A and B are shown apart, each in its own frame.
Chain A
């Protein structure tokens, strides 16, 4: 047999196996290391801190769990959230994440390793990403072989699409959920392949863990039944499928119902009906098979016809009836928004207002997946070429996840694993083909002889390819067929199928390695630049190039924590609710757990109305402080003025007569904050709080809002209802026209906190009281009216 390059032949098979196994272990170890290390940019560039918004709640809940124990946590009623309603935390969260951290924390402390709970939380996501790499390896191994598995593990370890949700400090449900997702799928494939009740049960246990950890468990709930259904429709029903599915569904569903937040949903809501239906279908088919084995073929056919028709009609009637009666909840709004991307904007603005619920932009596919995006379809095609049961799974997963990833940015996360798996299968096939040293038989004579025969065989390329000489690893040859076919088809002029010489091999392999290197560079760049910012802390550069940290959020939150009464209620837009609860430790009106739309709309109304309207709302909700985010000085674009239209829209949804979105635009339809701003805009509490005394900062110069690039009017807004309770004598030095103002403004003016005045002691309205305090005369409006000539 000719070979492109010599390979040692005097190795015993045991040596080869052991070496391969050692290399695999070392490679997996290195991949885990790379996966963890690449997620530590955030810690190194900034610090060990919890990121963004939701993680702050998870962190706070974990602290309660670690400090008070699980039962206390389970029964935790948080009176400081959604003031004055409160929140039953134990029953409204997925506790898997907190429980995981709590277990790790307690285990470490039992070993006398007093690690801070914050560090456990911060490093949980990187730690689990290493496990995800391993689970992906196991999963891909089932699809192709170990080498594809290692590639998939390496991909998922560093792919930005997954890193975006699992950098150190991104302490969110997704941090552990992707591992659980992949491992559940692995167990399912294993259960299906072996017909193993054991693996079915393991899949069910991990499914339960997943249900306890992330709302995205519905993806598994529908993926596995879809796979089973596809197999049934393909005529691939087997007892292995029956055993695997039944054990997974029965145990998994019962277990998932133990999570209070899920409760009876698995038997009551439409999202879970598919799984139940497939379960029923499997029972019917299994029963039919049993009956068939005892009956003659003719009788069976009649019976089958009647049974299928009647059970089909009965089953669908039952589901429709139950849905109609309300026993089964219809699809939720969030579900509809998956099919119609405009649905949420029309009916549930609160969902649409979240940036991660927007449809995905094309560049983000490249940003998150880069090279894998191109390898992914090839991998799916390779799956089609073999189409074993598990390949059907990957194909369905790829189709479903691609769609969802296109609909919602955050669902990019569920697409990423399957992209890594498919891409690994494709790339591994390519490498197998080109690293394999076996040369096709290539004597000149044979070529000439085969020339005629080859031309007639042009159509059946695959068969020639599979007839190619077997390699030293027999099983590889099979999987190679696809790539061989494509490779050989390029050389159509040559009748000989196969790869010739070292140069071809080196070209392709070097090319592949080049692409992989660029992939690594890209991943590193994206991770360090785009996905490692805690968003609590902003970074900029000093003139000398050193890093300058803009820490306004924490400055203001810490001020609240240290210098206001513990019961002071803080009102802010819901984005900052979790952060205020976590960092400032103060009650909030609304937070990121957006369960009560009316309450949020109330806050939206208060922010978008004039002071006179907003004041009673604030007082009725016992609001002591109002917090707004203002980026105009620094150019921080994620500020409240830019989010303001969502507040208006959400408020409009509840009070359509009082708040109307068009009022906040100029007659030309522009969104402006300068002197052309509409009246409703200028009178709104949000506008006033954002720009209060902003113009004075420029000391007579032209004040400019750097986010919206608009010049601000010289005369800034005045506040009558927010400010101090104490009357101050006018200060002669400045041009102040009103006595008191904001309670606190952070260094770069990003966070501005206002105190709500209490009612005037003399019963005047605050505007009058304020005017009196400044020594202004009351305006006389009556005479002016009298003098006007009657038309």
Chain B
């Protein structure tokens, strides 16, 4: 979502508080920076901890620098103080010049720091499309390996006393990684490898690095090539349609999903024999996706799973019972679904998944304001998958007006339209939100409030009754008017 930082309503609010003047390197000093990257398939989690010392009395905005590469990859970001749950408010600065290789993010600290006061800031980010399969093609029986590239130094507008970068592979089977020599800031060995972790650093006394000169002279790229034993999944397109129905007391959610195995492309052909042999010997190929497990809300009914040519029978649902209102229990219905065919590298599969949920579980009525409130989940997390493009469409009941909505994070674009479905006369207001690069961290709710006048509730029955009435009246006249030319006796 970083691409749309500027449109953040929250950040607009605090935009006035934060000055967009150049970062003063005199404000802070990083006593230590530790960056840990948890490598995986589509989603890579990078956590950077800044140990900060204030060099000036009263500083309350700490600025983090991100390289262009990091900024493009990052789809989710959260800053907080170490050991605390509460997220800090941050604001991305507009670009000074379009050509810079670094970007600034201002983090509003919870209080003004006194001179030499210290603070540990943790910056959690999730990067998408950060790894790529290498080799780019592999046969059905081959293993899967990915590469990940990143900058050697964590750049910062402040001086840094010591910094490290840890690249943590999911398994100790690391094929190779960049081996550096002659690092000017390193005192000991520039890198160490232990188990599944490769650590670059420690590097000491790094001057302010978010400037062209430093990047030109010192910044280096490190690369790690590691085995990854799970399929790399990518949802190219997710279209979620949510329909709120008051008459049916129903919340229908339907997802059209275009899933792709973004791992290495299949070299040669798929052999069912080999696939069955792998399954028989319980040695599944790491890049083959045979099935998916999804967690759906509790209390759902009428779950359906089909694709363009009909129902897919290979799924199993363990529906959890409805939770009592206000319960905090974490229950979810588990849906195990199998695509029609195992998904090998580079293969696509499109399918539709939908269910009905009791409206009472996600909507409530406030009699004071006379408004309905409904919460709509943005997505169902497909484990380990990134959603490239998402479109969430919320259809409110016919005649709903005065609606307000609060998405958990700002949409790339959003519009309101009118849709007509079953026997509608005036159509239903529909809110559509578009997002890019959603991850499991984005699994939030859109809150919508709206008002439905009593008359709107009766619009449909009245329309249908009127239509039938019309038919009957016509029939009455038809029976009673004799249009025959010859007035013969009635047969």
Segment touching B, from A108-116, A314-322, A640-648: A108-116
B349 touches A562 (CB 8 A): yes
On chain B, the residues within 8 Å of A113 by CB distance are 422-423
Q: Is the CB of B272 within 8 A of A728?
A: no
Interface residues of A in 453-467 (CB under 8 A from B): none
Could you tell me which residues of chain A, from 703 to 744, have a CB within 8 Å of some CB in chain B?
Answer: 723-724, 726, 728, 731, 733-734, 739-744
Quick one: given A49-B311, A551-B313, A558-B341, are A724 and B423 in contact (CB under 8 Å)? Answer: no
Cβ 8 A contact of A740, one of B268, B273, B347, B425: B268
- The answer to whether A557 has its CB under 8 Å from any CB of chain B is yes
Q: Is the CB of A47 within 8 A of B310?
A: yes
Residues 383-411 of B contacting A (Cβ, < 8 Å): none
Report B230 CB to chain A, min CB distance, Å.
Answer: 21
Interface string of B261-283 (1 = CB under 8 A from A): 00000011111111010000000
Contact of A747 with B272 at beta-carbon distance under 8 Å, contacts A111-B423, A114-B422, A558-B340 already known: yes
In Å, the complex CA distance between A49 and B268 comes to 34
User: Within B86-123, which residues are at the interface with A (CB < 8 Å)?
Assistant: none
Look across to chain A and name the residue whose beta carbon is closest to the beta carbon of B348: A562
B268 touches A697 (CB 8 A): no
Residues of A within 8 A of B139 (CB): 728, 731
Q: Which of B268, B309, B350 contacts A724 (CB 8 A)?
A: B268
Residue A530 at the chain B interface, CB threshold 8 Å: no
* Residues A740 and B269 in contact, CB atoms below 8 Å apart: yes
> Does A561 interact with chain B (Cβ within 8 Å)?
yes
A563 contacts the other chain (CB 8 A): yes
Indicate with 1 or 0, residue by residue over B414-427, a CB within 8 angstroms of chain A CB atoms: 00000011111100
B340, A559: Cβ atoms closer than 8 Å: yes
Q: Which residue of B lies closest to A109 (CB)?
A: B420
Does B314 touch A at the CB level, under 8 Å? yes
Task: Tell me whether A554 and B309 are in contact (CB under 8 A).
Answer: yes
Contact B348 A558 (CB under 8 A): no
With A49-B311, A562-B348 already in contact, the answer to whether A696 and B340 are too (CB < 8 A) is: no
Please, which residue of chain B has its CB at the minimum distance from the CB of A731?
A: B141
Contact of B269 among A549, A733, A744, A746 (CB under 8 A): A744
Which B residues touch A561, using CB under 8 A?
308-309
Is B307 engaged at the interface, CB distance under 8 Å to the other chain?
Answer: yes
* Nearest CB in chain B: distance from A607 CB, A: 21
How far apart sit A67 and B348, CA to CA, in the bound complex (Å)?
Answer: 25
Given A111-B423, A559-B340, A744-B341, are A728 and B268 neighbors across the interface (CB < 8 Å)?
Answer: yes
Per the bound structure, the CA–CA distance linking A551 and B306 in Å amounts to 13
CB of B152, distance to nearest CB on chain A (Å): 36
Contact A47 B311 (CB under 8 A): yes
Most buried by B among A559, A562, A749: A562
Contact with B along A27-63 (1 / 0, CB 8 A): 0000000000000000000011100000000000000
Residues of chain B with a CB closer than 8 A to A739's CB = 268
Complex interface: chain A residues within 8 A of B313 (CB): 537, 549, 551
Decide yes or no whether A345 CB sits under 8 A from chain B.
no
A280 to nearest B CB, angstroms?
A: 31
A552 shortest CB reach to chain B, Å: 10
- The answer to whether A745 has its CB under 8 Å from any CB of chain B is yes
CB of A558 within 8 A of CB of B141, answer no
A693 to B420, CA, bound (A): 54
Are B422 and A558 neighbours in the complex by a CB distance under 8 Å?
Answer: no
Nearest-neighbour CB distance to chain B for A195, whole angstroms, equals 13
Interface string of A86-115 (1 = CB under 8 A from B): 000000000000000000000000011110
Q: Which residues of A contact B341 (CB under 8 A)?
A: 555-556, 558-559, 744, 746-747
Q: How far is the CB of B366 from chain A (nearest CB, A)?
A: 31
What is the minimal beta-carbon distance from B393 to any residue of chain A, in angstroms? Answer: 14
Residues from chain A with Cβ under 8 Å of B267 in the complex: 726, 728
**In the complex, which of the residues B273, B276, B349, B422 has the most CB atoms of chain A within 10 Å of its own CB atom?**
B273
- Residues 255-307 of B at the A interface (beta carbon under 8 Å): 267-274, 276, 307
Q: How far is the CA of A151 from the CA of B273 in the complex (A)?
A: 57
Q: Which of A741-782 contact B (CB under 8 A)?
A: 741-747, 749, 755
Q: How many angstroms from the CA of A356 to the CA of B273 in the assembled complex?
A: 36
Q: How far is the CA of A540 from the CA of B200 in the complex (A)?
A: 59
Q: What per-residue 1/0 map shows which CB atoms of B11-40 lie under 8 Å from chain A?
A: 000000000000000000000000000000
How many residues on A have C-beta within 8 angstroms of the other chain's C-beta atoms?
Answer: 42
Q: Are B269 and A755 in contact, with the CB atoms below 8 A?
A: yes
Residues of A within 8 A of B276 (CB): 697
How far is it, in angstroms, between the C-alpha of A112 and the C-alpha of B422 when the chains are bound? 6
* Smallest CB gap from A585: residue in B: B308
Determine whether the beta carbon of B309 is less than 8 Å from that of A562. Answer: no
The minimal Cβ–Cβ distance linking A309 to chain B, given in whole angstroms, is 42
User: What is the chain A residue whose CB lies nearest that of B266?
Assistant: A563
Other-chain contact of A558, B268, B307, B346 (Cβ < 8 Å): B307
- A contact residues around B271 at 8 Å (CB): 693, 741-742, 745
Q: Which residue among B307, B340, B348 has the maximum number of chain A CB atoms within 10 Å of its CB? A: B340
Residues in B with CB closer than 8 Å to A731 are 139, 141
> For the complex, what is the distance from the CA of A562 to the CA of B350, rounded to whole Å?
8
Question: Once the chains are docked, how many angstroms separate the CA of A724 from the CA of B267?
Answer: 9
In the complex, which residue of chain A has the Cβ closest to the Cβ of B427? A112
Q: With an 8 A cutoff between CB atoms, is A583 at the interface?
A: yes
Q: For A556, what are the chain B residues with a Cβ–Cβ distance below 8 Å? A: 341
Q: Chain A residue with minimal CB distance to B274?
A: A734
**Nearest A-chain residue to B425, judged by Cβ:** A112
Closest chain A CB from B339 CB (angstroms): 9
Contact with A along B317-350 (1 / 0, CB 8 A): 0000000000000000000000011000011111
User: Which residues of chain B are near A557, meaning CB under 8 Å?
Assistant: 309
Residues in chain A near residue B346, CB distance under 8 A: 563
**Interface pair A555/B310, CB less than 8 Å apart:** no
Bound CA–CA A111/B268 (angstroms)? 52
Least CB distance, A731 to chain B, in whole angstroms:
6
Chain A nearest CB: distance from B419 CB in Å? 9
Q: How far is the CB of B150 from chain A (nearest CB, A)?
A: 33
Known contacts A112-B424, A563-B347; is A49 also within 8 Å of B273 by CB? Answer: no
With A and B bound together, what is the CA distance between A696 and B67 in angstroms?
54
Chain B residues in 8 Å Cβ range of A47: 310-311
Q: Would A742 and B141 be within 8 Å (CB), given that A551-B313, A563-B348 are in contact?
A: no
**Residues in chain B near residue A728, CB distance under 8 A:** 139, 267-268
Q: Are B269 and A743 in contact (CB under 8 A)?
A: yes
CB pair B340–A555 under 8 Å, yes or no, is yes
Partner of B273, one of A114, A697, A726: A697
Please name all residues of chain A whose beta carbon is closer than 8 Å to the beta carbon of B308 when the two chains form the complex.
Answer: 558, 561
Complex Cα gap A734–B276 (Å): 14
B269 touches A723 (CB 8 A): yes
**Is A49 within 8 A of B421, CB to CB?**
no
- Looking at the assembled complex, report how far the CB atom of A556 sits from the nearest CB atom of chain B, in whole angstroms: 8
Could you say which of A111, A558, A724, A726 has the most chain B C-beta atoms within 10 Å of its C-beta? A558
Q: Of B270, B273, B340, which one neighbours A743 at CB under 8 angstroms?
A: B270
What is the chain A residue whose CB lies nearest that of B342?
A747
User: When chains A and B are docked, how far (Å) is the Cα of A257 from the Cα of B346?
Assistant: 52
Report chain A residues within 8 Å CB of B348.
562-563
Bound-complex Cα distance A734 to B348 (A)? 29
Residues of chain B within 8 A (CB-CB) of A696 are: 273
Most-contacted residue by chain B among A112, A557, A726 (CB, 10 A): A112
CA separation between A734 and B281, bound complex, in Å?
14
Q: Establish whether residues A112 and B423, one from each chain, have CB atoms under 8 Å apart when the complex forms.
A: yes
A744 touches B270 (CB 8 A): yes
What chain B residues lie within 8 Å of A562 (beta carbons)? 347-350
Q: Please, could you name 25 A-B residue pairs with CB atoms under 8 Å apart, sorted by A? A: A47-B311, A49-B310, A49-B311, A112-B422, A113-B422, A554-B310, A555-B340, A557-B309, A558-B308, A558-B341, A561-B308, A563-B348, A583-B309, A693-B273, A696-B273, A728-B139, A733-B141, A739-B268, A741-B269, A744-B270, A744-B272, A744-B341, A745-B270, A745-B271, A747-B272
Which residues does B use to contact A, with CB under 8 Å?
A: 139, 141, 267-274, 276, 307-314, 340-341, 346-350, 420-425
User: Which 9 residue pairs spanning A and B have beta carbons closest together?
Assistant: A745-B272, A549-B313, A47-B311, A555-B340, A583-B309, A562-B348, A49-B310, A724-B268, A112-B420
